[in-house]
Protein backbone atom coordinates (compact mmCIF):
# COMPACT_ATOMS: atom_id res chain seq x y z
CA UNK A 1 0.00 0.00 0.00
CA UNK A 2 1.14 3.54 -0.75
CA UNK A 3 0.94 5.64 2.42
CA UNK A 4 1.39 9.32 3.24
CA UNK A 5 1.85 10.26 6.89
CA UNK A 6 0.82 13.73 7.95
CA UNK A 7 3.23 15.91 9.89
CA UNK A 8 1.30 15.33 13.12
CA UNK A 9 2.46 11.70 13.21
CA UNK A 10 5.86 10.48 14.45
CA UNK A 11 8.45 9.59 11.82
CA UNK A 12 8.90 6.24 13.58
CA UNK A 13 5.46 5.30 12.27
CA UNK A 14 6.85 5.63 8.75
CA UNK A 15 9.55 3.11 9.64
CA UNK A 16 6.90 0.66 10.95
CA UNK A 17 5.01 0.91 7.66
CA UNK A 18 8.16 0.40 5.59
CA UNK A 19 9.19 -2.60 7.71
CA UNK A 20 5.76 -4.10 6.96
CA UNK A 21 6.30 -3.73 3.22
CA UNK A 22 4.39 -0.51 2.58
CA UNK A 23 5.59 2.39 0.44
CA UNK A 24 5.48 5.13 3.08
CA UNK A 25 6.30 8.82 2.77
CA UNK A 26 5.67 11.79 5.02
CA UNK A 27 4.50 15.26 4.10
CA UNK A 28 7.83 16.50 5.47
CA UNK A 29 9.75 14.17 3.12
CA UNK A 30 7.94 15.82 0.24
CA UNK A 31 8.38 19.39 1.41
CA UNK A 32 4.71 20.07 2.03
CA UNK A 33 4.85 20.35 5.82
CA UNK A 34 2.61 23.18 6.93
CA UNK A 35 0.65 23.04 3.68
CA UNK A 36 -3.10 23.41 3.61
CA UNK A 37 -5.31 20.35 3.97
CA UNK A 38 -6.32 20.68 0.33
CA UNK A 39 -2.65 20.63 -0.76
CA UNK A 40 -1.95 17.52 1.34
CA UNK A 41 -4.99 15.65 0.07
CA UNK A 42 -4.21 16.72 -3.53
CA UNK A 43 -0.75 15.20 -3.16
CA UNK A 44 -2.35 11.98 -1.89
CA UNK A 45 -4.64 11.89 -4.92
CA UNK A 46 -1.81 12.56 -7.36
CA UNK A 47 0.34 9.83 -5.79
CA UNK A 48 -2.55 7.45 -4.99
CA UNK A 49 -1.53 7.34 -1.33
CA UNK A 50 -3.70 6.65 1.71
CA UNK A 51 -3.50 9.58 4.11
CA UNK A 52 -2.81 8.83 7.79
CA UNK A 53 -3.34 11.80 10.11
CA UNK A 54 -4.60 13.12 13.43
CA UNK A 55 -6.23 16.09 11.68
CA UNK A 56 -9.95 15.73 12.42
CA UNK A 57 -10.82 17.92 9.41
CA UNK A 58 -10.29 14.82 7.26
CA UNK A 59 -13.01 12.98 9.23
CA UNK A 60 -15.64 15.34 7.78
CA UNK A 61 -17.20 13.23 5.04
CA UNK A 62 -18.99 16.26 3.59
CA UNK A 63 -15.67 17.99 2.92
CA UNK A 64 -13.75 14.78 2.13
CA UNK A 65 -16.12 12.12 0.75
CA UNK A 66 -14.24 8.85 1.34
CA UNK A 67 -15.09 7.39 -2.07
CA UNK A 68 -13.18 10.26 -3.73
CA UNK A 69 -9.85 9.35 -2.09
CA UNK A 70 -7.38 6.45 -2.01
CA UNK A 71 -8.18 6.20 1.71
CA UNK A 72 -8.33 8.42 4.77
CA UNK A 73 -7.21 7.15 8.18
CA UNK A 74 -7.70 9.47 11.13
CA UNK A 75 -6.28 8.65 14.57
CA UNK A 76 -8.38 9.63 17.63
CA UNK A 77 -6.49 8.27 20.60
CA UNK A 78 -6.60 8.87 24.34
CA UNK A 79 -2.79 9.17 24.20
CA UNK A 80 -2.09 10.99 20.92
CA UNK A 81 1.62 11.21 21.68
CA UNK A 82 4.40 9.25 20.01
CA UNK A 83 4.14 6.17 22.26
CA UNK A 84 0.36 5.88 21.91
CA UNK A 85 0.49 6.32 18.14
CA UNK A 86 3.26 3.75 17.71
CA UNK A 87 1.42 1.22 19.88
CA UNK A 88 -1.87 1.59 18.01
CA UNK A 89 -0.06 1.89 14.68
CA UNK A 90 1.59 -1.50 15.18
CA UNK A 91 -1.81 -3.10 15.82
CA UNK A 92 -3.32 -1.24 12.87
CA UNK A 93 -0.71 -2.78 10.56
CA UNK A 94 -2.22 -6.19 11.34
CA UNK A 95 -5.63 -4.92 10.21
CA UNK A 96 -4.10 -3.44 7.05
CA UNK A 97 -2.69 -6.86 6.19
CA UNK A 98 -6.30 -8.09 5.89
CA UNK A 99 -8.20 -5.03 4.73
CA UNK A 100 -7.69 -1.83 2.76
CA UNK A 101 -9.06 1.65 3.50
CA UNK A 102 -9.37 2.37 -0.25
CA UNK A 103 -12.35 4.66 -0.75
CA UNK A 104 -13.07 4.62 2.97
CA UNK A 105 -12.60 6.75 6.07
CA UNK A 106 -11.17 4.85 9.01
CA UNK A 107 -11.39 6.44 12.44
CA UNK A 108 -8.75 4.64 14.51
CA UNK A 109 -9.43 4.68 18.23
CA UNK A 110 -7.61 2.94 21.06
CA UNK A 111 -9.59 -0.29 20.86
CA UNK A 112 -11.47 -0.18 17.55
CA UNK A 113 -11.59 1.09 14.00
CA UNK A 114 -14.77 2.74 12.75
CA UNK A 115 -15.24 2.62 9.00
CA UNK A 116 -17.25 5.02 6.84
CA UNK A 117 -17.73 4.63 3.13
**Mean pLDDT within 73-98:** 95
Q: From CA 117, how far away is CA 11, in angstroms rounded? A: 28
Question: What is the chain's mean pLDDT, rounded?
Answer: 96
**Mean pLDDT within 60-75:** 97
Q: Mind listing the pLDDT tens digit for each residue in 6-38?
A: 999 999 999 999 999 999 999 999 899 999 999
Q: From CA 103, how far away is CA 21, in angstroms rounded? A: 21
State how many domains the chain has.
Answer: 1
For residue 6, the model assigns a pLDDT of 97
For residue 111, the model assigns a pLDDT of 93
Confidence of residue 88 (pLDDT cuts 50, 70, 90): very high
- 34-42: Cβ within 8 A, 24+ apart: 34/7, 40/4, 40/6, 41/69
Cβ-contact 27, 7 below 8 angstroms: yes
For residue 68, the model assigns a pLDDT of 97
Structural domain that includes position 84: 2-116
**Mean pLDDT within 59-88:** 96
Spatial CA neighbour of 48 closest among 97, 85, 102, 5: 102
Instruction: Supply the CATH number for residue 22's domain.
Output: 3.40.50
Amino acid sequence: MRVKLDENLPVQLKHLFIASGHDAATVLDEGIGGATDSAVVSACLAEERVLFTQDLDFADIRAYPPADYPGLVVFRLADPGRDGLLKVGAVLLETLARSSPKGQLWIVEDTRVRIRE
